[in-house]
Amino acid sequence: MRDEEKSVKVFTLDLEHQALLPLIESAFARESIDFRLRSSLERAYDGIYTGQKGLGDVYVFEKDKERALQILNDILSAAD
């Protein structure tokens, strides 16, 4: 992601949605949406807070926020 553009958090990836990450990555790639996953794993505490904080937060550029949220909603709805 380029630093000059503002990024926004669109999703917190938790343990139950971990398997969906490849689907999210490929859907964002098809739509040319750049994203990053900011990990919440703490190595010093051996991941004991992962259940509370999730695996990480998904960030996209502000200009892609609405489309990213729509894609995430579609993926999560299909997974349920």
Q: How does pLDDT run across 43-75, given as a tens digit for each residue?
A: 544 555 444 556 789 999 999 999 999 999 999
Domain residue ranges of the chain, discontinuous segments joined by +: 7-79
Rounded to the nearest 5°, which phi and psi values hold at 14?
-105, 180
- Alpha carbon dihedral 75, 19, 21, 54, in 10-degree steps, equals 100
Q: Specify which residues 38 forms β-bridges with.
A: 57
pLDDT (tens digit, 9 = 90+) per residue, 16-33?
888 899 999 999 999 999
Tell me the pLDDT band of 2, cut-offs 50, 70 and 90.
low
pLDDT for residue 42 is more than 90 = no
Q: What is the third-level CATH fold of 7-79? A: Alpha-Beta Plaits (3.30.70)
User: For residues 14 and 40, which has the higher predicted lDDT (pLDDT)?
Assistant: 14
